[in-house]
Amino acid sequence: MNCNKPKAVELFAGAGGLGVGLEQAGFDIVLANEIEGDFARTFEMNHPKTKMICDDIHTIDFRSELSKLDVGEVVLVSGGPPCQGFSTVGSKRRQDPRNSLFFEYLRAVREIDPLYTLFENVSGFKKLYNGEAYGRLLQELKDLGYQVASAVIEASNYGLPQIRQRTIVVGWKGSQAPVRIPPRPNVHKGPNLFNLPDRMSLIDAISDLPELSFNDSSSEYKCEPLNEYQRKMRNGCRILTEHNSSNYGEKMREILSLIPEGGSVLDLPERLRPKSYFNNTYARLRPDRPAPTITRNFGTPSSSRCVHPYQNRALSTREGARLQGFPDDYAFHGSKGSKNLQIGNAVPPVFGRIIAEEIIRSLEESQSSVILTKANAL
């Protein structure tokens, strides 16, 4: 634990994607909470200095836990309640019990009383219940003394090789300098987080990973990094992990062999199509553009477009992690299905990093202002 770094508490931590971004920006995460065992273990493996509480958030007394740690002032509380209760897909029932987690986030903010708050959720959060949930969040934060700013951010604008949007709401105490949510950079002139001239394409993100056949794996990279993104993701790794493929039956092998470049279920003969389907199932990813939003089923060919652009298989676990922005030395705990779930559900680190850097800028500006004021008073 670094005593000089600003301290953060992360709620609904998942596998730690948001935490990676916070740490890249310069935060020290002193306490985290996650209820799912595999997710919590993954977080612990990659954030060994953070105290992880694997339990229902309703049971946690945050004042007590932080008192035990004796870490001093917590600058930031971050996190996003699980999105199922708020998602634009599926149930939007007002009484969905998962929505109570929204109020647990606010309770934690109230108990910890940080200088800054970071709330993230699905892109449609602002419109949920005709804006009632979003309005309630802003009002609650304002009642607690925070000024707020919000935006829906697109990850591919900041160098991630994936189309993914999240609603970001950041709050700061009135005594602090305002936090600016970074505007979309000019991706055609750069630079973005990875010093690339344009949006990162899928193939640029994974082209250094070796080919796989059915039920195959590899622990060796295909070549040296071919661009800055690959170099940063490798992070000095010499041994490749989690690059694996599933074993498919004869019918699935035939289906995969018949999907043309950029093609989908619509290109299959009628005899191989399921009785009902969405048009983007059994679909090859397009190599020359960012990947569509990665889901928990990115390793299943029949899921939304997730078949490798050129190889007859779905994405490997490591390829999914690459598209989310997890470095190659990031370890995942559990079965392959659990690992893919953790990756698909994760918040890409880029979201945490770009907002956390602005929070640190605000913090430093506020501290400089205080020092200047004191100096002028002498």
Q: What does DSSP assign to residue 288?
A: T
| One-letter amino acid of 148 | V
Residue 9: how many other CB atoms lie within 10 Å? 28
CA distance 321 to 315: 10
In terms of C-beta distances under 8 Å and separation of at least 24 residues, what long-range contacts does 126-132 make, across chains too? 126/150, 126/152, 126/167, 128/86, 128/92, 129/92, 129/94
223 is catalytic: no
Find how far residue 340's CA is from the centre of its chain. Answer: 13
Tell me how far apart the alpha carbons of residues 45 and 367 are, in angstroms, rounded to a whole number: 34
- 316, 340 contact by CB (below 8 A): no
Among candidate residues 83, 223, 237, 306, the one labeled active-site is: 83
Strands 116-122 and 165-173: antiparallel
Output the six-digit token pair for 21. 């971004």
Nearest to 344 by CA among 311, 310, 304: 304
CA distance 342 to 39: 6
Bridge partner list, 168? 120, 151
CA distance 294 to 165: 11
Rounded (5°) CA angle 15-17-20: 115
Say how far residue 32 (Cα) sits from the centre of its chain. Answer: 15
Helix axes 37-46, 336-345, angle to 10 degrees: 80
Specify the length of the chain in residues.
378
Helical (H) or strand (E) element with 148: strand 146-154
Burial 328-345 (b: 16+ CB within 10 A, else e): bebebbbeeebbbbbbbb
Active-site residue numbers? 83
